Amino acid sequence: MFDQKAKYSKRLTGLPPYLFVRIDQLKQEERAMGADLIDLSIGDPDIPTPNHIVEAMSQAIRDSTTHRYPSSNGRLDFRGAAANWCGSRFGISLNPENEIISLIGSKEGIGHTPFAFIDPGDVVLVPSPGYPVYQAATILAGGIPYPMPLLKENNFLPLLEDIPQDILKKARLMFLNYPNNPTGATSTLEFFRQVVDFAVKHNIIVCHDMAYSEMYYDNDAPHSFLEVPGAMDIGMEFFSLSKTYQMTGWRIGFAAGNKDLIAGLLKVKSNLDSGAFEAVQMAGVTALSSSQDCVEKMRGVYQERRDVLIKGLTQAGWDVYNPQATFYVWITTPSGYTSEEMTTRLLRELKIVATPGNGFGDAGEGYIRMALTVDKQRMQEAIDRIVGWGLL
């Protein structure tokens, strides 16, 4: 019999269980019993990919030249489209030759990054609560994740001055994520300026995950970290087409930033993967280069859903953080309940699937996350179940 303790590496056994695997197991158990689940757990858009992108993919896949191995850094036309999009959206100038690289989804790029820059024993500063991949990738690369608590009283921005000096001496890299998953918070340019000064002072690479850059509300568009003077000297930014264009299953994104950091990531990718499917990159060119009306429509849909959920939970007596961006709502658990206890009760008693906040790090304890991935009618049904529950 296979002995897991004997065969799995220490790095692998040192990983915490991946949050969504456990959630999937619980959902399967409930569905097996015929439960009518309202799934507000995983951030997977229920809105179809826009037709013009699907048509571009349909044409590209019929081009037999796309069936061969792609380059690890991506097609130049895709990188050019990404550079133009960044210029139009943020006013930043990027050289597609060496300051942009295509990714098999931004998760892949984030996961590979520590292998390029971290040696065993190096410290990586990671937000808590935060996307679990930051911590997992650090551990797999032999690094040591150091959590930076994101607290409501500080608008879910880390307090850089609270990081101990002995940690800073070992820190090589920092992950940030705004708009933030799971809290829905955004960053100011002033905070990004502080990050640049901090990174220069302590010789730290900054990796900013901007997967939710276009999923914002009330016409308050988030800033790019690369807009700040000096950011290109010490950082790179990860963009995803997944949420912006409802392309989660397509696995396409890009990283942009300092050419030496991009080169380091490319060296890892060229050894470990064969690049993104070229037909998907060609569809990505269409997505980035065409009218962005579909993105505006997407924002309207999620804002309506957000407003329904926020209003309903607030009227039911829940303490809810009103998200400025993303399609997540960050909710304080009622008094006397842990994150897991609350999500378990929601699932077992109301058949509503939410995500426990502690799955995103210790600072997420006391919160649950709900995703805006069902239509307004279904969202209202979830609210009705909660109101009828009478917990508060």
If asked whether residues 326 and 262 sit together in one domain, one would say no
If asked whether residues 277 and 302 sit together in one domain, one would say no
If asked whether residues 91 and 232 sit together in one domain, one would say yes
CB 222 within 8 A of CB 257: no
**DSSP 8-state symbol, 104:** S
If asked whether residues 165 and 302 sit together in one domain, one would say no
| pLDDT band of 282, cuts 50, 70, 90 | very high
289, 323, 352 - which closes a domain: 289
Let me know the angle formed at the C-alpha of 83 by 77 and 85, rounded to the nearest 5 degrees.
100
Phi/psi at 47 (5° precision): -85, 135
CATH number where 261 lies: 3.40.640.10
The CA-atom distances, in angstroms, between 140 and each of 9, 12, 120, 285 are 10, 7, 10, 33
Question: Can you give the pLDDT at residue 392?
Answer: 61
If asked whether residues 308 and 200 sit together in one domain, one would say no
Q: In the beta sheet, which residues pair with residue 171?
A: 123
Summarize the confidence of residues 50-75 as an average pLDDT. 96
If asked whether residues 222 and 306 sit together in one domain, one would say no
If asked whether residues 305 and 276 sit together in one domain, one would say no
How many of the other CB atoms lie within 10 Å of CB of 13? 10
CB 245 within 8 A of CB 50: yes
Average pLDDT, the chain: 94
CATH number where 24 lies: 3.90.1150.10
If asked whether residues 158 and 105 sit together in one domain, one would say yes
Residue-range definition of the domain harbouring residue 25: 4-48+294-389
If asked whether residues 321 and 189 sit together in one domain, one would say no
Summarize the confidence of residues 177-192 as an average pLDDT. 97
Summarize the confidence of residues 181-208 as an average pLDDT. 98
If asked whether residues 282 and 215 sit together in one domain, one would say yes
If asked whether residues 25 and 59 sit together in one domain, one would say no
- Split into its structural domains, the chain has a count of 2
Q: What is the pLDDT of residues 134-153, one digit of tens each?
A: 999 999 999 999 999 999 99
If asked whether residues 192 and 312 sit together in one domain, one would say no
